Amino acid sequence: MSFAMSSYETAVARYFTAWNATGAEELAKAVAAAWGEGGSYTDPLVDVRGHESVAAVIAGAQEQFPGFEFRQTGVVEGHHDVARFQWELVSLADGSAPVAGSDVITLDGDGRIRTVTGFLDRMPMA
């Protein structure tokens, strides 16, 4: 399967749209646009599959960090059906970014996310 770089960038843009969606309806639509049916999200804290479960993880992160948004840092790199990118969780109030990580995604034939494997590079102390 061959993907153009813009396919990776489009998939990552939809990923961030989902993570920054507001309201349950907008979030559900954004997750459905970004993830394929049965798509998964796995990081050190969670391992879920399916649109509803992915949306619940995103909603939980938004509740834990109100007033923050996820932003891509750096460029998207990809080959075959796999891409990787870095991100930060940024405070809209002061620009601080207490959480950062990198994700590896695999895409389905429609360019939607099949899997996300996330790594947390920076987390606040409990």
- pLDDT single digits (tens) 30-55: 999 999 999 999 999 999 999 999 99
pLDDT score, position 61: 96
Cα separation of the two ends of the chain: 43
Question: What are the strands, taking DSSP E only, across 4-52?
Answer: 35-42, 47-49
pLDDT over threshold 80, residue 126 = no
pLDDT score, position 125: 75
**CA 22 to chain CA mean position, Å:** 15
Q: Determine what percent of the chain is predicted with pLDDT higher than 90.
A: 92
Secondary structure class of 72 (helix, strand, coil): strand
CA–CA dist 73, 75 (Å, integer)? 7
Q: For residue 3, name the pLDDT band (cuts at 50, 70, 90).
A: low
- Interacting residues of 125 by C-beta distance below 8 A, sequence separation 6+: none
Q: For residue 96, name the pLDDT band (cuts at 50, 70, 90).
A: very high
Q: For residue 124, name the pLDDT band (cuts at 50, 70, 90).
A: confident
Question: Which residue's entry shows tokens 């590896």?
Answer: 104
Calculate the average pLDDT of the chain. 95
DSSP-derived secondary structure letter, 107: E
Cβ pair 31, 51 in contact under 8 A: yes
pLDDT over threshold 60, residue 1 = no
